[in-house]
Amino acid sequence: MTPQIMTEITAMPIPGHIDPVPVPREVTPRADGRVDLIGLSRTQIAALFLEAGLDAKAAKLRAKQVFHWLYHRGVTEFEAMTDIAKTMRPWLAQRFVIGRPEVVEAQVSNDGTRKWLLRTADAHDFEMVFIPDATRGTLCVSSQVGCTLNCRFCHTGTMRLVRNLTPGEIVGQVMLARDVLGEWPRGSMAALDIHDDFDDAEDDESSDYTPDGRLLTNIVMMGMGEPLYNFEHVRDALKVVMDGDGLALSKRRITLSTSGVVPMMARAGEEIGVNLAVSLHAVTKEVRDEIVPINRKFGIEDLLQACADYPGASNARRITFEYVMLKDKNDRDSDAHELVRLLRHYGLPAKVNLIPFNPWPGAPYECSTPEQIKRFAKIVFDAGISAPVRTPRGRDIDAACGQLKTAAERKSRAEVDRLLEEKQAALG
């Protein structure tokens, strides 16, 4: 990243106010001094082992084994790592831990959607949602506690950003979901051929290994936060999630949604390579400036050009344009025609996802009527662009798009208005 872009995205000062896009606070270290390995790559784990006293060869080998146990098998105790010498396991446990986000509350919607309120080690709350359907199970993962942006229709946008989530806290959501769904591979690893050492390791005799992951098949970075304002952590986390020897989810099953942080989009394509979703939501500067205020910084033309340049986009891997349906705001027939024109003009391999607005207390908009949503969808569809209407899921437990907001952060209307003003001032 050039220093210029770095400045642009990390510092949006508000005159006379505290900076609403703070340089994220570092994570408070664990009180007992042990290091949590979740979120770390093989190389990082090897470096820690080296630092703790292993020689280079042993550090590399141990890191490879531990990586596999952590992410592929989901174990939470070093004692369970049966191909690691028995004497070595307490050595690991004295220095390291295998963490999970703490679950504060778990809710299940009457449509099967589940929502978890999670807490970081330094006591910040964030949310994660699992949406099962007939053919897939999608985990909606958060990237930040709160969000620095304030899209006017989004409940998370009324929260003050507390901090970026670490790679461990991002990967930790996927690990936790697998724990809860009971979806770790079972049986012996003997066939996997990664045990080439130490005689006092226990022998795995059977070869009944079965991979798992049938319920959790897809990941969307659509929980709390703007993933491209936490680029490095999101990238490192997704690399672990995609690693063939780790959680092993294909990049084709992962979607990153951005509100339009244009300067980071090319890097997202090159360094992460997952599917891209863009929260477009409006086709004119006037309306998008109002409802997605980051538009004042990075406008529609620049955003669509960045989409056209997105590495890996093709007809086989289309970019999803998210469009929240707001009554009398962005839902006219003319908006639909303009949307088609713009997508064609930029030659975008596109799919439009129409999202009925999910209400929250004090929201300044209403959802478009079902008839108007249908009309809008038909106009886009008749132009040859796929335009499914997203079925709202988990509305009864506030788990649907844009409803995530932790209880600790619920504020009075006056406080919310003041925060929005602060955030908008920051965007200029």
Contacts of 292 (CB under 8 A, 6+ apart): 149, 151, 152, 259, 260, 279, 281, 282
Q: Is 127 a catalytic residue?
A: yes
Which of ligand SF4, ligand SAH, none does residue 324 bind (CB under 5 to 8 Å by kind)?
Answer: ligand SAH
Look at residues 200, 178, 187 and name the one whose alpha carbon lies nearest to residue 71.
178
Least separation, in Å, of the C-beta of 46 and ligand SF4? Answer: 35
Q: Which helix (H) or strand (E) holds 102?
A: strand 102-108
**84, 147, 306, 426: residue in contact with ligand SF4 (rule CB under 6 A):** 147
Among the listed residues 127, 169, 290, 322, the single catalytic one is 127
Which of ligand SF4, ligand SAH, none does residue 70 bind (CB under 5 to 8 Å by kind)?
Answer: none
Instruction: Annotate 65-78 with three-state secondary structure.
Output: HHHHHHHHHCCCCH
Question: 153 burial class (0-12, 13-18, 19+ CB within 10 angstroms)?
Answer: buried
CA-to-CA dists, residue 178 to 74, 181, 289, angstroms: 8, 5, 39
Quote the Cα angle for 33-36-41, to 5°. Answer: 135
Q: Is 8 a catalytic residue?
A: no
Look at residues 376, 256, 384 and name the one whose alpha carbon lies nearest to residue 325.
376
Nearest-10 crossing angle of helices 167-181, 231-242: 40
Is 319 among the residues that bind ligand SF4 (CB under 6 A)? no
Least separation, in Å, of the C-beta of 358 and ligand SAH? Answer: 4
19 secondary structure, DSSP code: -
Which of ligand SF4, ligand SAH, none does residue 322 bind (CB under 5 to 8 Å by kind)?
Answer: ligand SAH
Is 37 among the residues that bind ligand SF4 (CB under 6 A)? no
Least separation, in Å, of the C-beta of 231 and ligand SAH? Answer: 13
Is 373 among the residues that bind ligand SF4 (CB under 6 A)? no
Q: How many residues bind ligand SF4 (CB under 6 A)?
A: 11
Contacts of 240 (CB under 8 A, 6+ apart): 39, 40, 41, 71, 167, 171, 246, 247
* 53: its two tokens: 């006293």
Which of ligand SAH, ligand SF4, none does residue 355 bind (CB under 5 to 8 Å by kind)?
Answer: ligand SAH
Is 143 among the residues that bind ligand SF4 (CB under 6 A)? no
Is 256 among the residues that bind ligand SF4 (CB under 6 A)? no
Helix/strand/coil for 224: coil
Is 151 among the residues that bind ligand SF4 (CB under 6 A)? yes
What residues line the site for ligand SAH (CB under 6 A)? 151, 153-154, 222, 226, 257-259, 279, 322, 324, 355, 357-358, 401-402
Question: 75 burial class (0-12, 13-18, 19+ CB within 10 angstroms)?
Answer: middle
Q: Which positions from 109 through 128 interact with ligand SF4, judged by CB under 6 A? A: none
Which of ligand SF4, ligand SAH, none does residue 24 bind (CB under 5 to 8 Å by kind)?
Answer: none
The residue at minimum Cβ distance from ligand SF4 is 157
Is 268 among the residues that bind ligand SF4 (CB under 6 A)? no
Least separation, in Å, of the C-beta of 282 and ligand SAH? Answer: 11
Helix/strand/coil for 374: helix
Among the listed residues 151, 307, 367, 401, the single catalytic one is 401
**74, 157, 246, 356: residue in contact with ligand SF4 (rule CB under 6 A):** 157
327 within 8 A of 365, measured Cβ to Cβ = yes
CA-to-CA dists, residue 271 to 148, 234, 267, 284, 400, angstroms: 23, 11, 6, 31, 29
Is 164 among the residues that bind ligand SF4 (CB under 6 A)? no
Is 167 among the residues that bind ligand SF4 (CB under 6 A)? no
Cβ proximity to ligand SF4, 258 vs 368, nearer residue: 258
Is 149 among the residues that bind ligand SF4 (CB under 6 A)? yes
Least separation, in Å, of the C-beta of 226 and ligand SF4? Answer: 4
Task: Give contact residues for ligand SF4 (rule: CB under 6 A).
Answer: 147, 149-151, 154, 156-157, 225-226, 259, 279
> Which residues are marked as active site?
127, 401
